[in-house]
């Protein structure tokens, strides 16, 4: 199965992939951090954005055109764009809260540094990564397309950030027990 076929099928089944506990968790976290705007990188059809209030300034980006069309239909009051994580079409420090969920696991190793740099660049305050974890970023078996566990804690150590949290997601929220890594960008004047 090609990457495109895999993600189109994933989008097609996005209603059954919906994790309401996760969507609620992300919304509540963003609201508790008092952020003005939110960007989800790798938003697919917008499942993790469904519970944000309509008046909230929410954007989503995904390389899959089919997914973005579906997101725009489902959540017409939010802004969605087709684009890649390696070249986010936004100014520096555009978003208070930037997040990925099980996205970096699918990014090729050769693009990881650029991807993390882009998340950092467009964030004004916070970046949240909810990703399958592997200490040494080894391949995850039994997945139809190449997937690697990620060690975001280790990756963020190379940046001017404060690591607020780096814990396993509670299994009631995410049965696959991804790692929850929240960082705060340190702004130097």
Give the predicted TM-score (pTM) of the model.
0.93
Q: Residue 189: its pLDDT value, please? A: 67
- pLDDT of 10 above 80: no
Q: Residue 37: its pLDDT value, please? A: 98
Give the model confidence (pLDDT) of 115-143 as tens digits.
999 999 999 999 999 999 999 999 987 77
Q: Residue 108: its pLDDT value, please? A: 94
Give the model confidence (pLDDT) of 26-60 as tens digits.
999 999 999 999 999 999 999 999 999 999 999 99
pLDDT band of residue 13 (cuts 50, 70, 90) is confident
pLDDT band of residue 96 (cuts 50, 70, 90) is very high
Q: Residue 1: its pLDDT value, please? A: 65
Instruction: Write the secondary structure of the chain as one string of H (helix), E (strand) and C (coil).
Output: CCHHHHHHHHHHCHHHHCCHHHHHHHHHHHHHCCCCEEEEECCCCCHHHCCCCCCCEEEEEECCHHHHHHHHHHCCCCEEEECCHHHCCCCCCCEEEEEEECCHHHCCHHHHHHHHHHHHHHEEEEEEEEECECCCCCECCCCCCCCECECHHHHHCCCCEEEEEEEECCCCCCCCCCEEEEEEECCCC
Higher pLDDT, 73 or 3: 73
Q: Residue 66: its pLDDT value, please? A: 93
Give the model confidence (pLDDT) of 147-189 as tens digits.
999 999 999 999 999 999 999 999 888 887 799 999 999 977 6
- pLDDT of 64 above 70: yes
Q: What's the CATH class of domain 3-185?
A: alpha beta
Q: Residue 41: its pLDDT value, please? A: 98
């Amino acid at each position: 199965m090609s990457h495109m076929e895999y993600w189109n099928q994933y989008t097609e089944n996005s209603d059954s992939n919906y994790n309401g506990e996760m969507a609620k968790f992300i919304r509540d976290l963003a609201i508790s951090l008092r952020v003005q705007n939110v960007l989800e990188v790798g938003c697919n059809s917008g499942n993790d954005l469904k519970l944000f209030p309509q008046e909230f300034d929410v954007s989503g980006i995904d390389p899959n055109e089919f997914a973005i069309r579906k997101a725009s239909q489902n959540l017409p009051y939010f802004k969605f764009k087709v684009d890649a994580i390696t070249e986010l079409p936004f100014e520096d420090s555009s978003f208070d809260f930037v997040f990925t969920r099980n996205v970096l696991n699918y990014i090729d190793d050769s693009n990881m540094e650029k991807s993390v740099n882009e998340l950092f660049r467009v964030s004004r305050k916070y970046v949240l990564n909810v990703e399958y974890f592997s200490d040494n970023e080894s391949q995850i078996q039994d997945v139809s397309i190449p997937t690697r566990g990620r060690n975001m804690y280790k990756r963020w150590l190379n940046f001017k950030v404060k690591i607020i949290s780096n814990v396993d997601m509670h299994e009631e929220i995410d049965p696959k027990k991804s790692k929850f890594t929240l960082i705060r960008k340190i702004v130097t004047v």
